[in-house]
Structure 1
């Protein structure tokens, strides 16, 4: 898969994401009963993608779960922050857990930091390192890192002088590697396997019960999901706010939905959720006036 050349040593303000801080004596036990990943397998050096599901196994949100010395950071789409917080709060009951939306933390993306960073950064995907109170998480693909840093420490970090690049470039990279971030309008539509959360090692099938676990486990043990996430590309710029669907060019029937998209230069990458593709090759198009051809890409 050919990816446009990415800028080096760049900074991104990740305003499309938000943080939920989960602390308290029962924080780990609480999240173990709500999220698809194995919370007990995390450490301050190892984060994980996860899904937060409703009782029917439909994803309320995708999350990046980071263990800290005091508890956990949950990184979620900004548009789902209030929804996820409210739904998690419903399950707290008498558990010794505190959910907060920290105002003293910032989210930044670093691309190709190279010699700008004078401390060791992790080399494996979703592994973490801590420096001056900031946590750096290695994201898939080229050397790029999601950083959670205290606002008070931001000026002390070497990346503060990096040139800022458009957020669309970061989103383009996330889409290119199949990270299934989505918005509130798509919440509670998909089970985790439809969005490849299992392929991102975000589901534990041995950890025990959590909300939605029965449906997620049944899909795993009885066969693959009826729909699946694919990375795709079109050779034009598409508007971010669209309601296009995916059609079979031959039958003109709808066969998929767009989960996310981002443009870089003259190319748009998309995450599309297709009805399970059989062995017969198909030509896919967008349901727009141009019937734009869609090319499916292998995951990076």
Structure 2
């Protein structure tokens, strides 16, 4: 499950934001500041669903944390229409790895993709979880991208049945392919896109199916859901447009961004609307 809503900060570009699970959003926000990051949106109660905070790592990548209440987070990954993995493309991979290991206690290991010099990347996952619990990667932006002004950002990968067909359909709907469909050894066939509003994302076909909802009891988060709780797309888009595109949407909710107290927050003129979107169809 994901959410879609307008940017919470003036001038913010359209982008996906990953929400990482935490047992204490307030403590994590404090740890982020101590580790050199910043707090964009202070810890805020979302009715009885949970508590969240908007954060930025020292390299400039934006993310958030989710302290579950009534809403635990993702129920399913790795199936067509759902999140497959996330990837941090960063201006300083070494600093990013140190930060997330410190703040969120991630396990990381440096690997190389391809022959020869290859492409260096760092899978990340929960402590002691092993390869099956890896939820994403940290990758250093190439020097040529840095010269062009690329900045650090988290990017979601959505599982699809047919990468080429999905790219073609996305382009028909106004998306731009920034990396055409390509086969990646050990991962599958993938492509990177910009949606019509400028938000980057990727699609991938061929990854292993590992549903996380099977046999799950409340409070237990097997696999990568122990870290990735939800994702949110900030962009200026009407909810009826999402429904016409075939997404299953829930009711529009509002959250009072002024409230830092625990408990149900009240609607106000400064409230931020958002809509729940069920990513798997």
| TM-score bracket, shorter-length normalisation | under 0.3
Higher strand share: 2
* Higher RCO (CA-CA < 8 Å; seq separation 6+): 2
